[in-house]
Amino acid sequence: MPGMRMKTTLNLDDQVLKQAKAKAAQNGLTLTRFVEDALRARLLPAYSARTKTRVKLPVVTGLRPPNVDISDRDALYHVIDHE
């Protein structure tokens, strides 16, 4: 049944427990909530490398020629640093 709570004893590495407690406190969470969130994250289905996402990027046409050759790294840094 969702929402039910079960008391559980875990044997954890001392360093892992210290890190978990510190991270939980840092995020304003109880250790229980932190562990639950970590378990939920591990239980999610793994990302499938076969899933393809197509992104359509806008194409912007400028009104004048570019002021720097993008294949010239030093020229790019010069423009970035001085504009």
* pLDDT given for residue 31 in this prediction: 96
Query: Could you give the residue ranges of the DSSP H alpha helices within the chain?
Result: 14-26, 31-43, 73-82
Q: What is the mean pLDDT of residues 17-23?
A: 97
pLDDT tens digits, one per residue of 27-83: 999 999 999 999 998 888 776 666 778 899 998 888 877 778 888 888 888 888 876
* pLDDT given for residue 5 in this prediction: 86
* pLDDT given for residue 1 in this prediction: 46
3-state class of 78 per DSSP?
Answer: helix
* pLDDT given for residue 47 in this prediction: 64
Tokens of 58: 């806008």
Cα distance between residue 75 and residue 83, in whole Å: 12
Tokens of 3: 């929402």
